[in-house]
Amino acid sequence: MSTVNVENVRDSLKKCMDPEVPLSIVDMGLIYGIDVTENNDVNIKMTMTTKGCPLHETMVDDVKRYAKKVSGVNNVDVEIVWDPPWTMDKMSDEAKAMMKTMGSQNTPAPINYETAVPQGVGNLVKQEDGSLVLANEHEQGFMVNQAIIDFWKSCNGQRKVTELVDMFAQQTGLQRTQVEKEVMQLLKQLHEGGLLVIPNQNDAPNVEFKKSN
């Protein structure tokens, strides 16, 4: 039986992307601890940036999937903890630098909730390992989970932002006010990645996503 070590698991989790920003959950500082038992079971403690994150379950599923990619891993258990609370100080230096760069870019014009009708563009590609990637016209790949895929597909150029918020609230079972911020972040993320066109917005992607392997 091959021996599993913490660093192998951590390296695999570095390929698991945060659903809201083009950074790994490791660089985001969401992984609080990794423990490997004698039987090669892996126990992971992690947190979320906010307690109301509607992508909670899909993130846990993604973490388990990436941990199991390490040869020899048996069972994977993920525990969500809120103490200590997550802050930006927990991010890696690389992640902080990227967030600073993103924040210094020109802010696009505010999206008009009542008139904007986002249109998803690009292609959904299934990798050899079963993971899914959204690729833009420049063949830049962005690792995604099912929740983001469903949202991307729902942006059909006919639904207004208010309708997208209502749909996302229904899918996640959360109140509309809880998901508005998440929807706006997803719209911005997909738009910057060249995966979404918003009329009257700057349609040129301004984030260099890492190409998928």
* pLDDT value for 52: 66
Residue type, 139: E
Q: How many CB atoms lie within 10 A of CB 200?
A: 11
In a domain, 205, yes or no: no
Q: What is the CATH number of the domain that holds 171?
A: 1.10.10
The one-digit pLDDT tens for each residue of the chain (213 residues) are 568 899 999 999 998 887 666 678 899 999 999 999 999 999 999 998 877 666 677 788 889 999 999 999 999 999 999 899 888 889 888 878 776 665 544 444 556 656 778 888 888 887 777 777 888 877 777 777 777 888 888 888 888 888 888 888 887 777 777 778 778 878 877 887 788 887 654 444 434 444 444
**What does the CA dihedral 127, 128, 130, 131 come to, rounded to 10 degrees?**
-30
pLDDT of residue 53: 65
127 falls within a domain = yes
Examine the domain organization and report whether 87 and 128 are in the same domain. no
**pLDDT at site 13:** 93
Residue 207 lies in a domain: no
109 is a domain residue: no
**Closest C-alpha to 67, from 22, 94, 37, 90:** 37
Identify whether residues 86 and 164 lie together within a single domain: no
Is 211 within 8 Å of 141 (Cβ atoms)?
yes
Residue 178 near residue 52, CB atoms below 8 Å: yes
pTM of the predicted structure, to 2 decimals: 0.54
The answer to the question of residue 100 being in a domain is no
CA distance 173 to 200: 31
> Is the same domain home to 88 and 119?
no
Instruction: Specify the number of domains making up the chain.
Output: 2
What is the model's pLDDT at position 89?
87
Q: Name the residue range of residue 31's domain.
A: 6-92
Q: What is the pLDDT of residue 111?
A: 60
